[in-house]
Chain A
Amino acid sequence: MADVEMKPVDEKKEEKKEEKPAEEKKSAPLTPVAEIKGNVALIERAVSTLEPRFTHRVLRSLTHLRKKLNDKVLQDAVHEVYRIDSPSKKALLVWLPDTSADHSMDIDPATAPSKQTPSEPLPEVEIYFRLLILHHLLTSPANYPKATRLAHETVEKIQALNRRSMDPIAAKVWYAVERAYELGGELADARPLFLAAQRTAALRHDDETEASLINRILRSYLQYSLYDQADKLVSKTSFPAAAGNPQHARYHYYLGRIKAVQLNYTAAHTNLQQAIRRAPPAKTAPGFYQAVHKLSIVVELLMGDIPERSLFRHPVLEEALAGYFEIVKAVRNGSLSQFQSTLSRYAAQFETDKTYTLIVRLRQNVIKTGIRRLSLSYSRISLRDICVKLHLDSEEDAEYIVGKAIRDGVIEGRIVHEKGWMECGGQKSGYGPEVSDVFSRRIAYCLELHNQSVKAMRYPLNAHRKELAAAEGAREREKELAKEIQEGGDLDDEGPDLGEGF
């Protein structure tokens, strides 16, 4: 099982790694300004060739580019890209402090003669710049109100332009809008804005933006613990299947949260597994990776499973999961006192992780595990002893609890009331139709994975022509070979058929 589950993540890691060096080779020696310029060129290429792939590449570099931004870099970049004065250039510069204005004027003429392209850059480029400025403004608290204003203006602009080639950038802009509101401490106020935009995006089949917005809204609901509304939103919308992996990962994480609160642990577990598989590699996004794992461990415990130990040794997770590790140990031992002391010790951490109420629900699982352990090791045990071993308050309680455990199918056994003991029945043999069920579920999963990966492969345009030609050539050679064999006298009817297969 572990092998199968880990694979998708590994694959993704490799994929990312392959892309990374290529990108870094190009960008490492570049100054931020040059990098922005390179990105602008990529965006222009994306728009002219209608290939959103290039835009995605630009946006992938956003995370590390963000750290290198400052007023000067942005200003220089704007001046370099916008060679002639235009309304959009002015609109962009308004958001940057004027202190170094004359300084950048020096650079402008110096670089201008090198390349003469006095055409106005595309609107996508302008939005990209706005995105960069937004991210830059969000780095200092003094600029939050300014960032919110810019965010509003940008969003209006995007909606007025309504260009499909802008969608991937727009999706990122919405993220920045959310950040602006959240850092300003008024996340709830942004909800109507998001809801309206989500409607528009859905109508325009703007998958990227819609996915991003659904996640924004869900996040804002969950932030305020409005699980009812979040659940309704999920049931009323359909998450666009074409959305990118990170958006899917987030969406599944939020779904997992909602389902866990509603006691639907199996569904929650499935969603969280999806979130883990689709998440970016642990080193790139440790925060998300840790958050998902925290929740997924609690849900697994609630389902009656014990998470694997190797998980707690993962370099990224080890420290973050310390409290959860203790909880898992307590549940595994079926010791209520250990569970309670761990819970009170790590209460603050669980509270900030928003898993406290879920962990409190584990109490009954601790008791159930305890009873199961007893039923495995004794063929007959008195209620009094159960009471002592599990730290229960009274024999009366023990009788009810054991009765409930039998009814819920946790253990096989009977209570003999007159004698005051519990008789444990033999274990059911573990082989039946349910085994084939589990087996078929796994097979279905593997097949699904295969089909999905086939679908996810990218086929370059017109490349099949080349392959066809190659295949044609191969067939030709095959025929010749077959002819030679035939002429050679060794007659084989299947010869030509074999060629068909190539």
Chain B
Amino acid sequence: MAPPQLVQGYKELQKVFISGNLQQTGVLLTKLKIGLTEAGLFVPYGNPDPQDLVLARDVLEVGAFWSIRTKDIPSFDRYFSQLQTFYNDYSSILPPSPREYPLRGLNLIRLLTQNRIADFHTTLESLPLPADSLTANPYIAHPINLEQWLMEGSYSKVWNAREEAPTEEYKFFVDSLMGTIRNEIAGCEEAAYDSLPLKDAATLLFFKSQNELLTFAQQRGWQVDLTAGKITFAKKTEEKVEIPKERLISANLQYARELEQIV
């Protein structure tokens, strides 16, 4: 059974977290983590009491949400990987947590914003849900839709969906997601246009003011013509393709050698 001061601390944490005091929550979390380690619940082993496990899981879940509210992504990463034990290995003895899917969804969005698409799909594949009911879960459907739109290039849909986040915490990722999208769009524009009017460029890149656009253009090294109100993209000159002589010669020698072996 968990020590009473741990239960006490846990109750306090719940209260403080709901009131929204981030600093206090952080302090309490550190204390509780030490308490959990002493009780052997932080990284559970053996056969601990399910009730204690639920307590440990709740503390970690609060920690994960808290990390996002304080915008500390590496800390979220740590909390989430610890929670994986509870979600995967103890799923048979613990009652399911109402916060499990919001957190899993957040983790997916985190992978998306960091452009780790392969990890995103691996995680998606290992969700304990049947594949065709994934879209029925609002927390999981959100990142899935985002990924699909990003991949096919419907950036405006991503932009519009940023307000439809299923929980508050999802919005914390919106900013970095927007950064990813802008860079993607800018890359596309460089390839697809010769020139673009400033006003249209601003709408395409979802900028509200021209100043924002100008600083962005400077970062990417675009030529801005203010009098004509146009952005011209530096055309990549067609580089001349050299014939890879040496490689061809060595390949041919290799064939000769192999043929000699055969005959």
- Distance in angstroms from A267 CB to nearest chain B CB is 12
Residues of A within 8 A of B130 (CB): 351
Which of B4-12, B22-30, B190-198, B210-218 is near enough to bind chain A?
Answer: B190-198
Is A407 a contact of B187 with CB atoms below 8 Å? yes
Which residues of the partner chain A approach B126 to less than 8 Å between Cβ atoms? Answer: 225-228
Q: Are the CB atoms of B152 and A394 closer together than 8 Å?
A: no
The contact of B193 among A261, A417, A432, by CB within 8 Å, is A417
The 10 closest A-B pairs by CB, nearest first: A404-B153, A403-B188, A356-B131, A407-B191, A401-B153, A403-B192, A364-B152, A406-B192, A225-B126, A407-B188
> In the complex, given contacts A350-B132, A354-B131, A360-B131, what are 10 additional A-B residue pairs having Cβ atoms less than 8 angstroms apart?
A347-B132, A357-B125, A363-B151, A364-B153, A397-B154, A400-B188, A406-B191, A407-B191, A407-B192, A433-B244
CB of B122 within 8 A of CB of A357, answer no
A399-449 contacts to B (CB < 8 Å) = 399-407, 413-418, 432-433, 436, 440, 443, 447
Would you call A263 an interface residue if the criterion is a C-beta within 8 Å of the partner chain's C-beta atoms? Answer: yes
Could you tell me the distance between the alpha carbons of A394 and B149 in the complex, rounded to whole angstroms?
13
A404 to B200, CA, bound (A): 17
Q: Within the assembled complex, what's the spacing in Å between the Cα atoms of A451 and B118?
A: 36
Contact A263 B117 (CB under 8 A): yes
User: Using Cβ atoms and an 8 Å threshold, which residues of chain A touch B184?
Assistant: 404
Is the pair A414, B193 in contact by a Cβ cutoff of 8 Å? yes
A482 within 8 A of partner (CB): no
Contact code string A354-398 (vs B, CB < 8 Å = 1, else 0): 101100110110010000000000000000000000001110110
Considering only residues 251-273 of chain A, those with a C-beta below 8 Å from chain B are 261-264
Within 8 A of A (CB), among B222-263: 241, 243-244, 248, 251, 255, 258, 262
B185 in the interface (beta carbon within 8 A): yes
B58 at the A/B interface (Cβ < 8 Å)? Answer: no
User: How far, in angstroms, from A41 to B153 measured CA to CA in the complex?
Assistant: 67
5 of the cross-chain contacts (CB-CB < 8 Å) are A263-B117, A357-B124, A364-B151, A403-B188, A404-B188
Contacts of B200 in A (CB 8 A): 417
Bound CA–CA A231/B121 (angstroms): 14
Assess the A261–B154 pair: CB atoms within 8 A.
Answer: no
Pick the contact of B241: A397, A400, A433 (CB < 8 A).
Answer: A433
Question: Total interface residues on A, using CB and 8 Å?
Answer: 48
Given A363-B152, A400-B155, does the pair A417, B122 have CB atoms closer than 8 Å?
Answer: no
CA distance A416 to B204 in the complex (A): 14
Q: B117: which A residues are within 8 A, CB to CB?
A: 263
Q: In the complex, are the beta carbons of B193 and A263 less than 8 A apart?
A: no
Distance in Å: Cβ of A299 to nearest Cβ of chain B: 13
Question: Which B residues lie within 8 Å of A399 (CB)?
Answer: 204
Smallest beta-carbon distance A69→chain B, Å: 36
**Complex CA distance for A310 and B175, rounded to whole angstroms:** 49
B220 within 8 A of A: no
Evaluate contact between B122 and A228: CB separation under 8 angstroms. yes
Do B132 and A351 have beta carbons less than 8 Å apart? yes
The 8 Å CB contact of B153, one of A361, A405, A414, is: A405
Chain B residues engaging chain A, CB cutoff 8 angstroms: 117-118, 121-122, 124-128, 130-132, 134, 148, 151-157, 184-185, 187-194, 196-197, 200, 204, 241, 243-244, 248, 251, 255, 258, 262
CA gap between A226 and B131 in the complex, in Å: 15
Neighbouring B residues of A407 by C-beta, 8 Å: 187-188, 190-192
Chain A neighbourhood of B251, CB < 8 A? 436, 440
A348: which B residues are within 8 A, CB to CB? 132
Structural contact, B194 and A414, CB atoms closer than 8 A: yes
**Is A443 touching B241 in the complex (CB atoms < 8 A)?**
no
Least CB distance, B180 to chain A, in whole angstroms: 14
Q: Please state if A436 and B248 are interface contacts (CB–CB under 8 Å).
A: yes
Q: Give the complex CA separation of A364 and B127 in angstroms.
A: 23
Complexed CA–CA distance, A350 and B130 (Å): 11
User: Which residue of B is nearest A264, CB measured?
Assistant: B118
In the complex the two chains form, what is the Cα distance from A416 to B197 in whole Å? 11
Chain B: CB-nearest residue to A411: B192
Nearest chain B residue, comparing its CB with the CB of A262: B118
Q: How far is the CB of A331 from chain B (nearest CB, A)?
A: 14
Q: Is A16 an interface residue (CB 8 A)?
A: no
In the complex, which residues of chain A have a beta carbon less than 8 angstroms from the beta carbon of B187?
A: 407
Q: Is the CB of A443 within 8 A of B255?
A: yes
Shortest CB distance B91–A (Å): 11
| Distance to closest chain B CB from A443 (angstroms) | 6
A436 CA to B247 CA, complexed, in Å? 10
- Interface membership of chain A positions 221-244, coded 1 if the CB is closer than 8 angstroms to chain B and 0 otherwise: 000011110010000000000000
Distance in angstroms from B144 CB to nearest chain A CB is: 8
Q: Evaluate whether A406 and B188 lie within 8 angstroms (CB atoms) in the complex, with A393-B154, A400-B155 already known.
A: yes
Check A329 for interface membership: any CB of B closer than 8 A.
Answer: no
> B243 touching A263 by the CB < 8 A rule?
no
The smallest C-beta distance from B76 to any residue of chain A, in angstroms, reads 18
Q: Which of B121, B191, B192, B197 contacts A357 (CB 8 A)?
A: B121
Task: Give the distance in Å from the alpha carbon of A261 to the alpha carbon of B154 in the complex.
Answer: 23
- Give CA–CA (A261, B148) in the complex, Å: 15
Instruction: Assess the B192–A262 pair: CB atoms within 8 A.
Output: no
- Docked pose: A366 CA to B14 CA in angstroms: 48
| Nearest residue, chain A, Cβ from B120 | A263
Closest Cβ of chain B: how far from A243's Cβ, in Å?
A: 26
Residue of B134, B156, B192, B197 touching A396 (CB-CB under 8 A): B156
- Shortest C-beta distance, B129 to chain A (Å), equals 10
Contacts of A405 in B (CB 8 A): 153
CB of A450 within 8 Å of the partner chain: yes
Q: How far is the CA of A433 from the CA of B194 in the complex (A)?
A: 28
Q: How far is the CB of B178 from chain A (nearest CB, A)?
A: 14
Give the contacts of A310-364 with B (CB-CB under 8 A).
347-348, 350-351, 354, 356-357, 360-361, 363-364
Give A403 to B248 CA distance when docked, in angstroms. 36
Q: Which single residue of chain A is at the shortest CB-CB distance from B261?
A: A451
Give min CB distance, A234 to chain B, whole Å.
13
**Could you say which residues of chain A place their CB within 8 Å of the CB of B193?**
403, 414-417
A405: nearest chain-B partner, CB-CB: B153
- Distance to closest chain A CB from B197 (angstroms): 7
Q: Which residue of B lies closest to A231 (CB)?
A: B122
Given contacts A364-B152, A407-B187, contact A432 B192 (CB under 8 A): no
Q: A227-B125, A263-B118 are in contact. Are A400 and B153 (CB under 8 A)?
A: yes
Q: Give the distance in Å from the alpha carbon of A394 to the alpha carbon of B184 in the complex.
A: 19
Complex CA distance for A157 and B150, rounded to whole angstroms:
56
A357 and B127 alpha carbons, distance in the complex (Å): 11
A433 touches B132 (CB 8 A): no
| Given A261-B125, A397-B154, A405-B153, also A417-B196 (CB < 8 A) | yes
**Cβ distance B261 to chain A, nearest Cβ, rounded Å:** 8
Q: Which residues of A contact B189 (CB under 8 A)?
A: 403
